[in-house]
Amino acid sequence: MHPITVYLLTINGLAFLFNGTDKWLAVRQKSRISEKMLLGLALTGGSIGGLTGMLLFRHKISKMAFLWKFFGILIGQLLLLYLFLK
């Protein structure tokens, strides 16, 4: 398997798991994973896993400040992908 594929699968898996873990911690009123960490995972390539985790776990979907940052990252990545594949 190509190293970039392995990286993307790993970072998206981590982003998904961190979103699920943060939701689990939030429900139990425990110490949480920071938004900076969740956004950092998205920024480094885990935006698809993060988005999947947000939707599946219904986590951070009402936090507008977080959503603006997250979707800014996602749109930026899609724009870079478009320019790269063009």
Buried b (16+ CB within 10 A) or exposed e, 62-77: eeeebeebbeebbeee
Mean pLDDT (the chain, rounded): 96
Could you tell me if 45 and 78 are in contact, meaning their C-beta atoms sit under 8 angstroms apart? Answer: no
Looking at the chain, the whole-number percentage of residues with pLDDT higher than 70 is: 100
Instruction: Check residue 24 and give its pLDDT.
Output: 98
**Rounded CA separation 15/3 (Å):** 18
Q: How far apart are CA 48 and CA 50, in angstroms?
A: 5
Cα–Cα distance measured from residue 49 to residue 63, given in angstroms and rounded to the nearest whole number: 18
In this prediction, residue 86 carries a pLDDT of 84
Grade residue 9 by pLDDT with cuts at 50, 70 and 90: very high
pLDDT in tens, 37-70: 999 999 999 999 999 999 999 999 999 999 999 9
